[in-house]
Structure 1
Amino acid sequence: MADHQVTKLDPDTAIDIAYDIFLEMAGENLEPADIVLFNLEFEQRGAVEFVETAEDWEQEIGVLVDPNEYAEVWIGLVNEQDEMDTIFAKFLISHQESDREYHVVWAK
C-alpha cells in the first residue's frame, strides 16, 4: 500500500487561492454594506491571513474535517492593534492539488 503523503499548500499559495475565490464570489455572498466597506478600506486595512486550521469547522459546514488536510485563510480588515476585527470570509482549502476542495464561511 502506497504511503499517502499530501504536499501541504504553502501559505502564499493558500492566500492566493483564497483571495481569488473571494474576489470572484464576494459579490454574491456578502451584504452590500460589507462590499462597500471592503472596497473603501481594504487598501488601507485589508489583510489576508494564513491561520492555524481550527477544529470547529464541523459546526460551520456540517462536515467533519481533518485539520491536517486543509489550510485556513481569513480575509478581513485589521484595527490599529493589527488584529483582524472585521472578517469577511474564512476559507478552508484542501491540500490535495488534484482535488482542490474548499469551503467558505461568509460574514453574516
Structure 2
Amino acid sequence: MTEIIQKLDPDTAIDIAYDIFLEMAGENLDPADILLFNLQFEDRGAVELVETANDWEQEIGVLIDPEEYAEVWIGLVNEQDEMDDIFAKFLISHRADDREYHIIWKK
C-alpha cells in the first residue's frame, strides 16, 4: 500500500529554506556573494518554490522521488523578473516526521 504524503504548503517550504539559508550562508557562500545578497535582496531578492527537478541524483548522489520533495531557490531577479543569480537551491522533504533537506550552494 502506498503511503500518501501531505505536501508542504508553499509558504512553509519557502520559510524553511530561507531560515536554513540565513543560518548557513556565512559558511557556504563567498564573502562577496554574502555582501551582494545583503545589499540587493530588498530590491531584487526572491525565494521561489519551483517544480522539483529530476536531476538531483547527479548533484547529491542519491536517487529521489520528486513527488516527495519541494524545491526552493533563493537568489536575485533581473529586470525581466527572472532569477539569474541563484545563491542556493534547496530540496526539502514533504515528510514532517523526517524533514530531510539538501542544498546546492552557489560556487
TM range (shorter): over 0.9
Q: Once the two structures are superposed, what CA deviation does each residue of 1:17-64 show, in whole Å capped at 9, x if it has no partner?
A: 000000000000001110000000000000000000000001111110
Shift of the alpha carbon at 1:4?
1.2
Amino acid corresponding to residue 52 of structure 1 in structure 2:
E
SS in 2 for 1:18: helix
Instruction: Report what 2:104 is aligned to.
Output: 105
State the TM-score, normalizing by the size of structure 1.
0.97
**Alpha-carbon RMSD:** 0.8
Does residue 93 in structure 1 map to residue 95 in structure 2?
Answer: no
Shift of the alpha carbon at 1:10?
1.1
Amino acid corresponding to residue 76 of structure 1 in structure 2:
G
SS in 1 for 2:26: helix
Q: Partners in 2 of 1:43 and 1:65 — Cα distance? A: 33
Instruction: Report what 1:63 is aligned to.
Output: 62
Instruction: Report what 1:50 is aligned to.
Output: 49
Runs of 4+ in 1 over 3 A off after TM superposition: none
Shift of the alpha carbon at 1:5?
1.1
Q: How many residues align?
A: 107
State the TM-score, normalizing by the size of structure 2.
0.98
- Consecutive unaligned residues of structure 1, counting only runs of 5 or more, are none
Instruction: Tell me the percent identity.
Output: 81
Instruction: Report what 2:74 is aligned to.
Output: 75
Shift of the alpha carbon at 1:83?
0.2
